[in-house]
Amino acid sequence: MSYPIRPISEDEWSSFSGVLAEGFNWTPHPAQSERWKANTEFDRTLAAFDGDVIAGVTGIHSFTMTVPGGQLPVAGVTAVSVLPSHRRRGILSQLMRRQLADVCERGEAVAALYASEAVIYGRYGYGRASDGLSLRIPKHGSAFVAGAPSDPALRITVAKPAEVRATLESVYESILAERPGQYRRNEHLWTAVLADEEFDQDGAGALRCVLAEDSDRVRGYALFRVKSLWGDNGQPDGELLLRELYATDPAAQALLWQSVLNRDLVSRVRATRPVDDPITQWLTDVRHLNASWGDELWVRLVSVDAALSSRAYSAPVDVVLEVADDVCPWNAGRWRLTADTTSASCKPTDEAPDVSLPVAALGGAYMGGGSLDAQHAAGLLTEHSAGAVRALATALSWSPAPWAGLVF
Q: How many angstroms separate the Cα of 299 from the Cα of each of 77, 110, 114, 152, 273? A: 10, 7, 9, 41, 19
Q: How many angstroms separate the Cα of 327 from the Cα of each of 5, 177, 244, 336, 396? A: 17, 31, 36, 21, 24
336 Cβ partners below 8 Å, 6+ apart? 318, 319, 320, 321, 345, 346, 347, 348, 349, 351
User: Do the annotations mark residue 91 as ligand-binding?
Assistant: yes
User: Do the annotations mark residue 90 as ligand-binding?
Assistant: yes
User: Do the annotations mark residue 213 as ligand-binding?
Assistant: no
Q: Are 189 and 36 in contact (CB under 8 A)?
A: no
Burial code (b: 16+ CB inside 10 Å, e: under 16) for 117-154 equals eeeebbebbbbbbbbbbebebebebbebeeebeeeeeb
DSSP, residue by residue, 107-171: T--EEEEE-SSTTTGGGGT-EE--EEEEEEEEGGG-PBPTT----TT-EEEEE-GGGGHHHHHHH
The number of beta carbons lying within 10 Å of the beta carbon of residue 229 is 14
Would residue 408 show up in a list of annotated catalytic residues for this protein? Answer: yes
The number of beta carbons lying within 10 Å of the beta carbon of residue 193 is 18
Catalytic residue among 3, 16, 63, 121: 121
Would residue 24 show up in a list of annotated catalytic residues for this protein? Answer: no
User: Do the annotations mark residue 9 as ligand-binding?
Assistant: no
Distance spanning both ends of the chain, measured CA to CA: 31
User: Do the annotations mark residue 117 as ligand-binding?
Assistant: yes
Catalytic residue among 126, 183, 313, 408: 408
Phi-psi region of 235 (alpha: psi -120 to 50; beta: other; left: phi over 0): beta
User: Do the annotations mark residue 234 as ligand-binding?
Assistant: no
User: Do the annotations mark residue 80 as ligand-binding?
Assistant: yes
- Alpha-carbon distance 275 to 18, whole Å? 36
Burial code (b: 16+ CB inside 10 Å, e: under 16) for 269-304 equals bebbbbbbbbbeebbeeeebbebeeeebbbbbbbbb
Show binding-site residues: 80-82, 88-93, 116-117
Show binding-site residues for acetyl-CoA: 80-82, 88-93, 116-117
Catalytic residue annotation: 121, 408
